[in-house]
Amino acid sequence: MFVYTRKAHYHETDQMGVVHHANYPKWMEEARVAFLDELGVSYGAMESAGVFSPVVHLSIDYKRPARFDDEVEVQLAIAKYTGVRLEVGYTFFNRTRNELCATAASAHCFVKDGRVVSLQRALPAAHERLLACLREENAL
């Protein structure tokens, strides 16, 4: 499990006095980028190599709202990886309030030259790192 920690910014609040729900997909993306970085898979380098990884599915269950200045952990793990599809699971834990904030999932494909591709072919090194990470998770 990878942990990305983040404070809730003022500009992320809405007039209900909580972090607006549309910010959660952004936090998921930030966590994903940081996680891939740690794996040695730079998202920037992937795009420079012409490989994009769009979100094809997103779901979020909001449990308890985060508020301005709360410190929130986004805990992330690979749920499934097939070479052509990556599924990621997320738990938002509010450290300031010591409570579960949200759970979420995203799914991604890989695209090169406008076509869906297998990451295994497009970027074998990245593929190997994702596989290794998944094996490690399963071993726990």
Name the site residues for a second copy (rule: CB under 8 A). 9-11, 13-18, 20-23, 25-26, 29-30, 33, 42-44, 47, 52, 54-62, 65, 68-69
Report d(CA 90, CA 1) in Å as an integer: 10
The conformation of residue 65, written as its DSSP 8-state character, comes to: -
The C-alpha atoms of residue 17 and residue 25 are separated, in whole angstroms, by 19
* Rama region for 138: left / alpha / beta (φ>0; ψ in -120 to 50; rest): alpha
Closer residue to a second copy, CB minimum distance, 30 or 99: 30
In the complex, what is the shortest distance from the CB of residue 14 to a second copy, in angstroms, rounded to a whole number? 5
Which one is catalytic: 14, 37, 70, 113? 14
Widest pairwise Cα distance in the chain: 47
What is the CA 18 to chain-centroid distance, rounded? Answer: 22
Which one, 55 or 131, has the nearer CB to a second copy? 55
For this structure, is 113 an active site residue?
Answer: no
Q: Which is nearer to a second copy, 61 or 136 (CB)?
A: 61
Minimum distance from residue 81 beta carbon to a second copy (Å) = 19
Enumerate the active-site residues: 14
